[in-house]
Structure 1
Amino acid sequence: MDEERSLAHSLSDDALAFLIGTLFIALGLAVLKAAGLGIGGTAGIAFLTNVATGLDFGTVFFLINVPFFIFAYLAFGPVYLLRSVIATAMLSAESSLLPSLISFGHVAPIFAAIMGGLLCGMGMLSLIRHQAGVGGFATAAVYLQDRLGWRAGKLLMIADLCVLAAAFLLIDPHQVVLSILAVVCLNIVLALYHKPGRYAGFARFARARAAAAASRTSRMGIPQKP
């Protein structure tokens, strides 16, 4: 117990991780947008909405995630929900402010795809390791993996490809292909560095989240994994 307590994140640890994670994602999205590229998930939907309508990315991104916040509360409980809402609000605000703080004169599309995807992946990893997310399909994918045994990585890839398929209607096919490269780079980061047992800094929160998920699953009548 003493070792677990020493590994647990402090409030300052969480605050810095939230800032680093959301800034990395916001910067990654800015790099992708500068090259006319997109990304998967709800960020990709918000990006396409911005391209098609001109609506503010940050505002659209937050609104799209509201249904996933509701799901996060039902599946993982109020603590995870609060952390995810804070992280998503930070990312939305940073994405709206970033154009006034930094601009890109020229970004090579291939570099943008690789760097943008890696930045987004590292930002998401920072948030995941501090028991938070930025809403979206990942919340549902993690739940389905925990409860039904479906592979979260495959579910996320399918969801991302569906979003990028819609991108063919709005952006050049060459840019869509590079957007797929960005998604692959993002998922490589998560596949390599987010593995069960590799990181113990959130052991206490993980156990509490598992207990809350099991309780809610029992009430909803979904059979437990053996």
Structure 2
Amino acid sequence: MTATKPSNIEKHSWLEDALAIFWGTVFVSLGLVLYQHAMLLTGSSAGIALLIQYATGYAFGPIFFIINLPFWYLAVKRMGWPFTIRTFLAVAFFSLLSRIVPGLVDFSSLNPVYAAIVGGGLMGTGLLILFRHRAGLGGFNVLALYLQDNHGIRAGYFSLAVDLTILAVSFFVVDWRQVLLSVIGAAALNMTVAINHRPGRYVGMS
């Protein structure tokens, strides 16, 4: 017996998509704050932006926004304008939050292992919310979603491979112990996405 697809899939409303962009980026930005306080790294465009921030002292938000610019062509051509617009809004809002949230949260003590695991989980949950509403945070997330939709490659597993490559470069920027914790965080992030964002498991559409 073969599984049948639902005949009438209800699309997300514009309000549901807006709330998803808001909460998805809020979750990711909070996870990012944990990483910044513990001097940890992540992958994708955010990982590159963090590497540049740690190495140069420049603000994360503008770096992250600029890094994403080359990926907009792929987003429009392969994923369509609705996805691109939602992703652009998510990237812009996340870039803004990356400047605001650090001023709203303060830690007198933060265990780096906790920061790696919980920060990774928060970012993975935020990305999951965005993915399920046909949005992302640009960069390699766009490529990951394209490969999953068109070639059946799990977005989470592809992102994990990319993230580990970026983390390998980080040995030249931060201490090896922070890199090791960052790998644990990357696993927490990407397994959250891989387990919960599987083709056919969630049928909501935007």
Cα distance per residue 1:135-154 (max 9 Å; x no partner): 01121133234444555444
- Find the aligned partners of 1:146 and 1:24 in 2 and give their Cα distance: 24
| Structure 1 residues 25-36: aligned runs within 5 Å | 25-36=28-39
Secondary structure in 1 aligned to 2:172? coil
Aligned to 1:214: none
Partners of 1:56 and 1:10 lie apart in 2 by: 34
- Answer yes or no: is 1:70 the counterpart of 2:73: yes
1:171 corresponds in structure 2 to 174
Among candidates 95, 99, 104, match of residue 101 of structure 1: 104
Q: 1:46 aligns with which of 45, 49, 52?
A: 49
Match of 2:92 in 1: 89
Q: Work out whether residues 31 and 119 of structure 2, in 8 Å CA contact, stay in contact via their aligned partners in 1.
A: yes
What is the TM-score of this pair, normalised by structure 1? 0.84
Distance in 1, matches of 2:147 and 2:158, equals: 9
Q: Could you say if the C-alpha distance between residues 19 and 152 of structure 1 is closer, same or farther in structure 2, counting changes exceeding 3 Å? A: closer
State yes or no: 1:116 paired with 2:111: no
Cα pair 1:24 1:122 within 8 Å, conserved: yes
Q: 1:140 to 1:40 in 2, by over 3 A?
A: same
Residue 146 of structure 2, aligned match among 138, 143, 147: 143
**Once structures 1 and 2 are overlaid, which stretch shifts more, 119-128 or 10-19?**
10-19
Q: Which runs of 4+ in 1 moved over 6 A?
A: none
What are the superposed Cα offsets for residues 35-86 of structure 1, whole Å, 9 maximum, x if unpaired?
1111111101000111111111011001101111221011111111111000
The separation in 2 between residues aligned to 1:75 and 1:153, in whole angstroms, is 19
1:201, distance to aligned residue in structure 2 (A): 1.6
**Partner of residue 80, structure 1:** 83
Q: Give the counterpart letter for 2:76 in structure 1.
A: Y
8 A Cα contact 2:157 2:190, kept in partner = no
C-alpha separation in 2, matches of 1:39 and 1:184 = 10
> Alpha carbon RMSD of aligned pairs, Å?
1.7
Distance 1:100 1:136 in 2: 26
Note if contact 1:51-1:170 (Cα within 8 Å) is conserved in structure 2: yes
Which residue number in structure 2 is paired with residue 193 of structure 1? 196
Q: In 1, Cα distance between the equivalents of 2:128 and 2:147?
A: 19
C-alpha contact 1:69 1:84 (8 A) present in aligned 2: no
Number of equivalences: 201
Report the residue type matching 2:110 in the other structure: V
Report deviation, 1:31.
0.5
What corresponds to 1:213 in structure 2?
A: none
Match of 2:128 in 1: 125
Distance 1:2 1:95, change over 3 A: same
Task: Name which one, 1 or 2, has greater alpha-carbon Rg.
Answer: 1
Structure 1 gaps of 5+ residues are 206-226
AA in 2 matched with 1:23: V
**For the residues of structure 2 that align with 1:113 and 1:101, how far apart are their CA atoms?**
20
What residue identity is the alignment partner of 1:84? T
Could you tell me which of 14, 17, 22 is aligned with 1:19? 22
CA distance in 1, matches of 2:201, 2:149: 17
Q: Percent identity?
A: 43
Structure 1 distance, partners of 2:132, 2:173, is 35
Q: Distance in 1 between matches of 2:154 and 2:177?
A: 29
Q: Which amino acid aligns with 2:173?
A: L
2:3 — aligned with what?
none
